Amino acid sequence: NAGVTQTPKFRILKIGQSMTLQCTQDMNHNYMYWYRQDPGMGLKLIYYSVGAGITDKGEVPNGYNVSRSTTEDFPLRLELAAPSQTSVYFCASSYLGRQNSPLHFGNGTRLTVT
Amino acid sequence: GQQVMQIPQYQHVQEGEDFTTYCNSSTTLSNIQWYKQRPGGHPVFLIQLVKSGEVKKQKRLTFQFGEAKKNSSLHITATQTTDVGTYFCAVAKSGSSNTGKLIFGQGTTLQVKP
């Protein structure tokens, strides 16, 4: 099993450019998440999804958009890149039953906006 | 909103010394998860605590959940260089165990001198 796969691994954007960070999982997990991690900091929740067609804001959603058209895929869209969005982005998934279940993380996308 | 404080932010120990990190919440938690992130890597799930006063062990790691379910600790006995990394707690607010909205602490970065 591949688990959670993120692409690309690295990207450099100019201010104002847009891009989509891809995330796919093959574990049939219903929950998916996007976190960002700034250097030396913890993970901040950007958006999450409890199933196909359903998304909700996390702690830091401004400047980002998501969609969840299938169970497997949860892309993160940056429309107008800003230097403040320079970060490492992690996608994660979990299967939620009665209690929170462990998050499975992808390897991350390192984004630099200059 | 949900806040979780993790202390200390950094800890340098000599190999063989013990290490403890603490996670404190402003609200009662339904459960708490602990993750480890190696340098340059992604967070990896270690354990989940659910019950008040719960204690779980994984080899040299001991995890505790407070009686009031507002705090937790991770203790490593006789650290080794393989323990190097950042340890995060992640929480969901009490009564929201099924939302999947996990909030991460800032993390404690452990350095071990051989």
Residues 6+ apart with CB under 8 A from A39: none
Chain B nearest-CA residue for A42: B106
Q: For B54-66, how does the pLDDT look when each residue is reduced to its tens digit (9 = 90+)?
A: 999 999 999 999 9
Q: Do B90 and A103 touch (CB under 8 A)?
A: yes
Mutation for A interface: B101, B103, B106, B108, most A CBs within 10 A: B101
How many other C-beta atoms are found inside a 10 Å radius of the C-beta of residue A102? 18
Which pLDDT band, with edges at 50, 70 and 90, does B49 fall under?
very high
**Strands laid side by side in the B19-25 sheet:** B4-7, B19-25, B71-76, B61-65, B55-58
CB-based contact, A98 to chain B, within 8 Å: yes
Give mean pLDDT, residues A39-56.
91
Give the pLDDT score at A99.
61
Interface probe, candidates A5, A59, A95, A103, chain B, greatest B C-beta count within 10 A: A103
Whole-angstrom distance, CA of residue B74 vs CA of residue B62:
6
Q: Is the pLDDT at A100 greater than 90, yes or no?
A: no
What tens digit of pLDDT does each residue of B69-93 get?
999 999 999 999 999 999 999 987 5
- Determine whether the interchain pair A102/B102 forms a contact, defined as Cβ–Cβ distance below 8 Å: no
Of A33, A42, A102, the CB nearest to B88: A42
State how far residue B17 is from chain A, nearest Cα, in angstroms. 24
**Is it the case that residue B22 has pLDDT exceeding 90?**
yes
pLDDT tens-place string over residues B25-40? 988 988 899 999 999 9
- Contact between A108 and A90 under an 8 Å Cβ cutoff? The reply is yes
pLDDT reading at A68 higher than 90? yes
